[in-house]
A and B are shown apart, each in its own frame.
Chain A
Amino acid sequence: MGRPDLSVDIAGLRLANPLIAASGCFGYGVEYADLVDLAALGAVAVKGLFLEAREGHAPPRIVETPSGMLNAIGLQGIGVRTFVAEKLPELKARRAVVIVNICGSTVEEYAEVARILSDADGVAAIEINISCPNIDEGGHTFGCSLTGVHDVVRAVRAATTLPIFPKLTPNVTDVAAIAVAAEEAGADAVSLVNTFLAMAIDVETRRPRLSNVVGGLSGPAIRPIAVRMVYECRAAVRIPIIGMGGIASARDVLEFLIAGADAVQVGTANFEDPGIWPKLLAGVTDYLERHGHAAVGEVVGTVDLSARETAWISS
């Protein structure tokens, strides 16, 4: 038997493997080009872009917490046109598969950013950020209501023929219902989850540790919740799922795949170890070989819910 096939198909977008650098954790991708072979990643999801440049929040913007970190960057960014002019050519030259994360303060802004990217050369897909917990306007506001999700996805759908992946917030009562709304509005896949709205306080000074007071929790601390949410969405929608939340090892990648994700994103772990990518791929390959799988797709959604055999531990 040859090496297992690691490639995955996300709504017609063929990725060499299921590992995607998560938006907001990998700059515009070019920052990592000296350390990471961008062409060896399944794809690179670049930092969220509005129509115009954006300054973001004052520091401190991050704080480490047990098995994770809070961030409130505030979507600092160079604006979509500058990205297309200055970053996209280098990503293309390095043969990266580019997923562009887009933001908007209005439905119209999302659509306009999507149109600009549709006309650019080298964009493989659009991830729609309707889930950033750190900004007042747009983002999270859309992602927390069924009609908001529907309106944004519908408008972006009308603006582009590129594959579109709404990125969902976990800060809702029923994430599966949100995924269904995205699917019905024309999404090609869903990405989940963005960070969990959270807070940390310095008890000596009694001041919040982030200038924005609250921020988004990421890292291994959120992984079990994210796995549960992917599992719930897998049962609710037919479109592919890109799963994320605290992945730091090949076992974590497989946990998301088994729960129902077709591909995964890795963010916070890349801060600790920018060399994590080949290790994750090697671990996934080893697992597929041990379990006799010819292709990574064979493990997707294979969580075994059959009755457990309990006899031997009954005493």
Chain B
Amino acid sequence: MASPVDVDARIAANHRLSDAYNILEIEAPAIARQTRPGQFVMVKRALGREPLLRRPFSVFEILRNARGAVTGLSLLSKQVGAVTRDIFLAEPGERIRCLGPLGTPFSVVGPPAHAWMVAGGVGLAPFATLAEALHASGVDTTLFYGGRSSEDLYRVPLFERLGVRVVLTTEDGTRGEAGRVTAPLQRELATAGDRPVMVYACGPTPMMRAVAGLAAGADRPVQVSLEPVMGCGLGGCYSCVVRILDGGARFVRACLEGPVFEGNRVSWADLT
């Protein structure tokens, strides 16, 4: 098991993708080298600065130099509060506090199983590293990627280069199929026959709930990456609990037992 490290990492680049989204590249090789798909880091701009608590981010990409050596990691962020605003405004050369890798990763399937990743907006974040791992295992992989508009969809070529078939949806029809990402997923589940499929989902809770329901209805396993409010990321505060249904309902810490959970273990009625 990897040991998390806390680093004061230099920011290598900040790609602002829109007024809301950015990809922050940070030089944290000690974290990046250990990171497995679906794991996260706890981040804030600087110690002693408000807001007090760090926020969890899925590791988006593992960064490598021309020789293939790991140089750091990137975060895909959408501005929703003070920390994501700090991350949006950060400049190359500045530093950022980053603790990780943390949490239980995705279980990566191998052939003959197919992998279907379902992402909603910034929920794309854990799937770049997963797509790499699936590619390395030779798994036939599809990304269902939805957003409200084309302004919510980024870095599609990154996935296409890894041989991923990409199905895009937007609720306003500005890119890909008009409607929700669950519509093409539902169609393809209905015609999947007896192909073994592992579904992976990350996005808004209602989307993940719907995806878990569709997968269960089609008798396919699903892994979801949940995003509860988190205080420490290390199991110390017991704030990020998720109600799990095995062995009687009980709360487990998402920072340790998650953020990835098997969809049929999650008590979806209790997730807000």
| Interface positions of A (Cβ within 8 A of B) | 24-27, 31-32, 34-35, 47, 55-56, 58-64, 66-69, 71, 73, 76, 219-220, 248-249, 268, 270-275
Q: Is the interface of B mostly helix, strand, loop or mixed?
A: loop
A274 with B232: in contact, given A58-B270, A67-B50 (CB under 8 Å)?
A: yes
Asked if B52 contacts A69 (CB within 8 A), the reply is yes
Give chain A residues whose Cβ lies under 8 Å from the Cβ of B232. Answer: 270-271, 274
Write the B96-136 contact mask toward A (1 if CB under 8 angstroms, else 0).
00010000000000000000000000000000000000000
CA separation between A25 and B4, bound complex, in Å?
A: 18
Chain B interface size, under 10 / 10 to 19 / 20 to 34 / 35 or more:
20 to 34
CB-contacts of B215-238 with A (<8 A): 228-229, 231-232, 234-238
B193 touches A (CB below 8 Å): no
A274 with B239: in contact, given A69-B53, A268-B52 (CB under 8 Å)?
A: no
B209 touches A (CB below 8 Å): no
CA separation between A60 and B228, bound complex, in Å?
A: 8
With both beta carbons as reference points, the residue of chain A lying nearest to B6 in the complex is identified as A275
The 3 closest A-B pairs by CB, nearest first: A31-B235, A62-B239, A271-B232
Asked if A56 contacts B6 (CB within 8 A), the reply is no
Q: B236 is contacted by which of A25, A63, A66, A69 (Cβ under 8 Å)?
A: A25
Asked if A55 contacts B270 (CB within 8 A), the reply is no
CA separation between A25 and B235, bound complex, in Å?
A: 9
Asked if B52 contacts A219 (CB within 8 A), the reply is yes
B197 touches A (CB below 8 Å): no
B190 touches A (CB below 8 Å): no
With both beta carbons as reference points, the residue of chain A lying nearest to B51 in the complex is identified as A64
CB distance from A262 to the nearest CB of B (A): 25
With both beta carbons as reference points, the residue of chain A lying nearest to B252 in the complex is identified as A76
Q: A47 is contacted by which of B51, B238, B241 (Cβ under 8 Å)?
A: B238
With both beta carbons as reference points, the residue of chain A lying nearest to B81 in the complex is identified as A64
* Contacts A/B (CB < 8 Å), 21 sampled: A24-B237, A27-B234, A31-B236, A35-B3, A35-B4, A58-B270, A59-B242, A61-B229, A62-B237, A62-B239, A64-B52, A64-B53, A67-B50, A67-B52, A71-B231, A71-B237, A71-B239, A219-B52, A270-B232, A271-B231, A274-B6
CA separation between A122 and B243, bound complex, in Å?
A: 32
Asked if B251 contacts A56 (CB within 8 A), the reply is yes
Give chain A residues whose Cβ lies under 8 Å from the Cβ of B52. Answer: 64, 67-69, 219-220, 268, 271-272
A76 with B47: in contact, given A69-B53, A268-B52, A271-B231 (CB under 8 Å)?
A: no
CB distance from A31 to the nearest CB of B (A): 4
Q: Is the interface of A mostly helix, strand, loop or mixed?
A: loop
Give chain A residues whose Cβ lies under 8 Å from the Cβ of B50. Answer: 66-67
Q: Which of B6, B51, B52, B251 neighbours the largest number of chain A CB atoms within 10 Å of its CB?
A: B52
Asked if A56 contacts B238 (CB within 8 A), the reply is yes
Give chain A residues whose Cβ lies under 8 Å from the Cβ of B48. Answer: 248-249
B15 touches A (CB below 8 Å): no
CA separation between A35 and B251, bound complex, in Å?
A: 25
CA separation between A249 and B229, bound complex, in Å?
A: 26
